[in-house]
Amino acid sequence: QKSLNETFGADKYTRARKEVLTYMFSRPMQMALYFCTGVLKDETLFRHYALNVPFYTHFTSPIRRYADIVVHRLLSASLGVSSHIKMRKEDIQRQAEHCNDRKMASKRVQELSADLFFSIFVRVR
């Protein structure tokens, strides 16, 4: 980010150019995937590369995504705060794969939309 800030001037298109390049640089990064730990035997797959931690669970407010609701429920049950989840690990994995599919489809539509508007921007300018 620092090198991007130092590279561009101060004209009216500076911010747009930085946003486009930041988007393009972050695009190839691997997306996080949901999975059921009881299905995967290789614990090295549980680690978070950027944070360099061996076990990692990500979730946000459960009002946003179904996957976050599932994670909240599983963590709550594992901490003994709520009752046991009556789902088999294979069912949880199937739900995780469905959430991954929907997330990737959504990301692809977002990328195509950004490409379209970027093309229009370049054409107009």
Structural domain contains residue 50: yes
21 vs 30: CA distance, rounded Å: 17
Per residue in 24-47, pLDDT (tens digit) is: 776 666 677 888 888 888 877 777
Asked if residue 22 is part of any domain, the answer here is no
Question: pTM for the whole thing?
Answer: 0.65
Instruction: Show the domain range for 88.
Output: 31-124
39-65 average pLDDT score: 78
Q: What is the DSSP letter of 84?
A: P
Q: Does 78 reside within a domain?
A: yes
Distance between first and last Cα of the chain:
25
> Within a domain: residue 20?
no
Q: What CA–CA distances, in Å, run from 64 to 43, 60, 74, 90, 116?
A: 28, 8, 17, 24, 27
In a domain, 62, yes or no: yes
Tokens of 112: 């195509």
